[in-house]
Structure 1
Amino acid sequence: MRTHFCGLVDEALIGQTVTLCGWADVARNLGGLCFIDLRDHEGIVQIVAEPTTDAALGAGEANAAVIATAADVGYEDCLRVTGVVRKRESVNAKIRTGQVEVVATKIEVLNKAEPLPFHAHENPGEDIRLKYRYLDMRRPEMQKMMRTRIKLVQALRRYLDERGFQDIETPILTKATPEGARDFLVPARMHPGEFYALPQSPQLFKQILMMAGFDRYYQIARCFRDEALRADRQLEFTQLDMEFAWVSERDVQDTVEEMIRVVFRDVMGVELAAQFPRMTYAEAMRRYGSDKPDLRIALEFTDIAQLVKSCEFKVFTDWANHEDGRVVALRVPGASTLSRKQIDDYAAYAGKFGAKGLAWMKVEDASKGREGINSPIAKFLDDATLAAIVQATGATTGDAIFFGAATYKSASDFMGALRLKVAKDLGLVAEGWAPLWVTDFPMFEWDDEENRYVALHHPFTAPAVDSIDDLRANAKTAVSRGYDMVLNGNEIGGGSIRIHNSQMQSAVFDLLGIGAEEAEGKFGFLLDALKFGAPPHGGIAFGIDRIAALMAGTESIRDVIAFPKTTTAQCLMTGAPSPVPDKQLAEVHIQIREKQEGK
């Protein structure tokens, strides 16, 4: 139907006849002279319908018909235009085709558009955008973001294919092994009362591929988790899944680090650091209160428990003397100008992440000692303690200091969130890209609700010890062989060296409260596979949606997913999820039970 794309018409085509297809982005009727901005996925070109005596361009009644058709064109009408490319008198430097225009010899209206709920150059509310997603994705901003995602996937595949990785599909219908997020269950019609699950990741299958001798695997995999949604999370998502046999941590990290550098260079023209820095989980939590610190922000924590163990401020002394307590200070340069309301707002924000309150101190004049300090807690601190805090944090005139006191984890969490919020509000986030490896994660964390250990990564991650006895004796402090790649405060990839010994895997299951019978029922196939010469192996998975969002400069992954769900897990365009007729339910042996009040 067309010879060229609208956005690719250029000066090399001047004098040539072209046929274009697209939507009427703008239509202007100036009375006998009409202009149409015709848009397709490559961009916009200006169409002109004008009177002419040039037979080559169509004269007389035929040209009058073209003008009449152009005059009736409406917004988003679907058009096919044939015409001759010529040099524009008034150049439009804002668009790629701004040096030329197409003088129409024929205009066909392929489909008239009814009045639209919003204009392609508007940015309506997200509910409207998702209901009319096909219109939303016509917008140039969305076209650009989606193309960024497409280029990202193409670059990843190109890199991996050129280096001998094997693209192998793994099952979508698999076994339910709830350990972490909830599974999506699918009733098995041919097996009444039994269910498949949609995969949360291809984890076990890719490990088994290593045992099967496929050595270097990858897959652009669709994954599913029945969990609460937010700006950077969806029920169904896409990840680049990778696994390597015969490797150590550094083998995996070096390969994928180079991959990310190449991909950012190819897609964005961005040169990332030649060597990504590495930081242990313990150091990241100590310095930044996060296992995915944003290194564009220079703010760091100062632990002051030793300075306040004997002060008169009970909140500080209680946690400073607690076995698992933390008292931490965050110096914010230039923040002494914050109003009391702004500080109260920060306290409320920290409260969302577990803070019971937020102590603060303004250093209004460092040379005056106590007299230069403005703080509601200063009266509980003697001169020496005040001076020690100012010195330890490096605070100077004009700075503010925020304090957190709680369990080590809680204080780290809410102060880490506060660090990000304050830095963003006060313009303390540097430009550019700050990649990082976070390593040496804890093997387990204690779950008070379930009264047992849970795996920090997943139960197939190898511990940093070879002895089962050592692991059992030091489960609380055991370190795993897990690693995450972080970029600008976002975890974009996570992986580990896996357990390749059936006895160690059984011991880890046992420490996680998964008994031998349960382990056999859920993971018997894996335990069997580990007995038959399983090689050392490890891997990583990268969040395609999250990386694409970072590249596109948007905070919501919904902007780089063609058909996302809302935060209430709905598809507004199709109406999913929706009821299913009783007859269809009966075929899969399902009966809906009425919801009981209060449940």
Structure 2
Amino acid sequence: MYRTHNCGELCKKDIGKEVILSGWIQKIRNLGSLFFIDIRDYFGITQLIFPKERVNISLGKEFLIKVIGKVVERLSKNYNIYTGEIEILVSHLEILNYSSPIPFSIENKTDGNEEIRMRYRYLDLRRNPIKNNLILRHDIALETRNFLSKNGFLEIETPILINETPEGARSFVVPSRTHVGKFYALSQSPQLFKQLLMIGGIDKYFQIVKCFRDEDARSDRQIEFTQIDCEMSFVEVNDVLIFFEHFVKHLFKKMKNIQLDPFPCISYYDAIKMYGTDSPDIRFDMSFIELNDLVQKKNINFLKEQELVIGIKVTKCNNIHDKINFFLKKIKNKNFLWIQYLLDKTFLYSKQNFMNKEFLKILVKRFQAKPGDLLFISFGKKRKTREILGKIRLEIAHYLNLINYKIFKPLWIIDLPLFEWEEKFKRYKAVHHPFTSPKEEDIHLLEKSPEHIRSKSYDLIINGIEIGGGSIRIHNKNIQNIIFKHLGLSTKEIESKFGFFIKAFEYGTPPHGGIAFGLDRFMNLLEGNDNIKNFIAFPKNNYGQDMMINAPSFLKDEKLKELHLR
């Protein structure tokens, strides 16, 4: 028998029991006549004590040991852990396995950098922060399955090896040994298959699914990632938003005991207009105020020729102009100015030669500014100006500690454009994916003005991070064919890549729609972390490499020949 109890369950009521424990040595403390060892397993830590003469073997950190002993009351208690009131008076110790010197400390706060911890990931998993993240991931997956199942969703697995389809990112390809010269692609998402499930009469589907995209990895993105993927029949946009708002609120309440407010809903165009981004952080205000009319009316020379003049107000920022100057030096674009409205109702401002007191007072009125407020004004081409001020807005919020990191502010962004123009290839590409339905009122623009079409799409943004996205799908064969052609696909390519899918539309395709949530990114947000690798058991680094198993790697010539690649 390796253990009668685990290392996290013994407490004061167990005093006097004879027990057997097995685990790894966390710490060793030699106090002369007495020897103390902290032994650790998956469940926790227990302190061992025995006279030094009983230790006739050499021990080291991460040795795996088995001990037999008696539970006794601990003199120097540690109330930070469950087992902190007891210790085990050891009568027998056995080494189950030895450990080489460890490359980094197995502690909550380790001295190991990311590279070394990924190389020895199996050791990193022993640390509580990583272990607890994986436990939380399990709990969220379980809660997701229970919630969706109780609401009529059926969990169905879809293929991983599929044909390559134009979904926006590069696909990983897999050569076929038995079909010479042909390749599979690893699925970027279950998109087509979940739509086919709806055509097949499945009412509601979900899957916690691995997806693969051959793109640059980074702290919030991996080349293989996990989605909570969902689809529903006979729904419109509001049906999806209402249900999945309820779903997200349920997870926050269940996992973190956080009650979220109702999710506001704004259009893509309003998000860009108000915040300069389609994923705004609304934990703080500072929405854009347009100033073109004011500039024209007051004939402000250096601004009236600009395509767009907009600004933001930062409240209660008196006497910080020195900090602001330091902050602004980091911004490469110089098409902006700032005005500090001081407590004595005088002004400090950049671009001294272009300001006059009358205009400053008019600006104060437009912004409804109060003494102590700080105004930022950006100008130039519309798109770039909004983009720059959006970044300034976010940087200022971080720099001036305006963000409450303990709160979560979700919102839906709806009505994203159906297409965007790719100048490099002289063609349109889908903003979401090629199967997203246009809004009915915009369908008449399909032939002549596709760039102005709004889609029945929606993204869930929480604290400025895109957590999920989806759309109502096209269920009309003719509209789907027109969309494909706008994306530059010929009739032959449509038939080759999507013939099976278009054919399915001929058999009574129901209206349907869905959404997918990034599980890794959702957990990262929920825990206030800054790296999704901490929530994946065996992640890749930012170059798409597995440092532990040394993947990707070269294949031998024999294998390449077998796959017809030589």
TM-score (norm 1): 0.89
Q: Is the 8 A contact 2:435 2:480 kept in 1?
A: yes
Q: Is the 8 A contact 2:7 2:46 kept in 1?
A: yes
Counterpart secondary structure, 1:218: strand
Structure 1 segment 164-203 matched on structure 2, within 5 A: 164-203=152-191
Q: Which residue of 1 aligns with 2:265?
A: 278
Q: Deviations over 1:140-196 (max 9, x none)?
A: 222222222222112111212222311111111100113311111111111222111
Counterpart secondary structure, 1:160: helix
Structure 1 segment 439-588 matched on structure 2, within 5 A: 439-465=414-440, 468-588=443-563
Q: Is the 8 A contact 1:235 1:569 kept in 2?
A: yes
Counterpart secondary structure, 2:451: coil
Between 1:216-225 and 1:457-466, the stretch displaced more is 457-466
- Equivalent AA in structure 1 for residue 375 of structure 2: I
Q: Is the 8 A contact 1:365 1:373 kept in 2?
A: yes
Q: Which residue of 1 aligns with 2:279?
A: 292
Q: Distance in 2 between matches of 1:387 and 1:452?
A: 48
Q: Is the 8 A contact 1:347 1:358 kept in 2?
A: no
Q: Deviations over 1:351-402 (max 9, x none)?
A: 4xxxx3242223243765xxx3333324224444332322222333333322
Q: Is the 8 A contact 1:313 1:377 kept in 2?
A: no
Structure 1 segment 15-34 matched on structure 2, within 5 A: 15-34=16-35
Structure 1 segment 31-70 matched on structure 2, within 5 A: 31-50=32-51, 64-65=53-54, 67-69=55-57
Structure 1 residue 221: Cα displacement:
0.7
Runs (4 or more) in structure 1 with deviation over 6 Å come to 310-315
Q: Is the 8 A contact 2:469 2:515 kept in 1?
A: yes
Q: Which residue of 2 aligns with 1:594?
A: none
Structure 1 segment 109-148 matched on structure 2, within 5 A: 109-121=95-107, 122-148=110-136
The question of 1:262 aligning with 2:250 is answered yes
Q: Is the 8 A contact 1:347 1:357 kept in 2?
A: no
Q: Distance in 2 between matches of 1:526 and 1:381?
A: 62
Which of 374, 381, 398 pairs up with 1:407? Answer: 381
Q: Which residue of 2 aligns with 1:4?
A: 5
Counterpart secondary structure, 2:161: coil
Structure 1 alignment gaps of length 5 or more: 52-63, 321-325, 592-599
Q: Which residue of 2 aligns with 1:328?
A: 310
Q: Distance in 1 between matches of 2:317 and 2:425?
A: 42
Counterpart secondary structure, 1:298: coil
Q: Distance in 2 between matches of 1:96 and 1:262?
A: 29
Q: Which residue of 1 aligns with 2:364?
A: 390
- Equivalent AA in structure 2 for residue 360 of structure 1: L
CA RMSD of aligned residues (A): 2.2
The question of 1:363 aligning with 2:340 is answered yes
Q: Distance in 2 between matches of 1:162 and 1:11?
A: 41
Counterpart secondary structure, 1:348: coil
Q: Is the 8 A contact 1:87 1:100 kept in 2?
A: yes
Q: Is the 8 A contact 2:470 2:513 kept in 1?
A: yes
State, as a whole percentage, how many aligned pairs show the same letter. Answer: 39
Structure 1 residue 75: Cα displacement:
1.1
Counterpart secondary structure, 1:286: helix
- Equivalent AA in structure 1 for residue 260 of structure 2: L
Q: Is the 8 A contact 1:187 1:195 kept in 2?
A: yes
Between 1:485-494 and 1:156-165, the stretch displaced more is 156-165
- Equivalent AA in structure 2 for residue 453 of structure 1: Y
Q: Distance in 2 between matches of 1:568 and 1:465?
A: 43
Which of 321, 326, 330 pairs up with 1:348? Answer: 330
Q: Deviations over 1:200-255 (max 9, x none)?
A: 11101100011111111111110111112221011110011101111112222222
Structure 2 alignment gaps of length 5 or more: none
- Equivalent AA in structure 2 for residue 293 of structure 1: P
Q: Distance in 1 between matches of 2:27 and 2:84?
A: 15
Between 1:531-540 and 1:327-336, the stretch displaced more is 327-336
- Equivalent AA in structure 1 for residue 18 of structure 2: T
Q: Distance in 1 between matches of 2:8 and 2:542?
A: 35
Structure 1 residue 315: Cα displacement:
6.3
Which of 384, 402, 408 pairs up with 1:433? Answer: 408
Q: Distance in 2 between matches of 1:201 and 1:251?
A: 22
Q: Which residue of 1 aligns with 2:290?
A: 303
Q: Do the aligned partners of residues 555 and 307 (structure 1) sit closer, same or farther apart at CA in structure 2, a change above 3 Å counting?
A: same
Q: Deviations over 1:1-60 (max 9, x none)?
A: 222221222234332232222211111122231111111122211112248xxxxxxxxx
Counterpart secondary structure, 1:319: coil
- Equivalent AA in structure 2 for residue 295 of structure 1: I
Structure 1 residue 450: Cα displacement:
2.4
Q: Is the 8 A contact 2:318 2:343 kept in 1?
A: no
Q: Distance in 1 between matches of 2:112 and 2:321?
A: 34
The question of 1:418 aligning with 2:392 is answered yes
TM-score (norm 2): 0.94
- Equivalent AA in structure 1 for residue 273 of structure 2: R
Q: Do the aligned partners of residues 447 and 218 (structure 1) sit closer, same or farther apart at CA in structure 2, a change above 3 Å counting?
A: same
Which of 317, 322, 330 pairs up with 2:304? Answer: 317
Between 1:72-81 and 1:204-213, the stretch displaced more is 72-81
Q: Is the 8 A contact 1:86 1:101 kept in 2?
A: yes
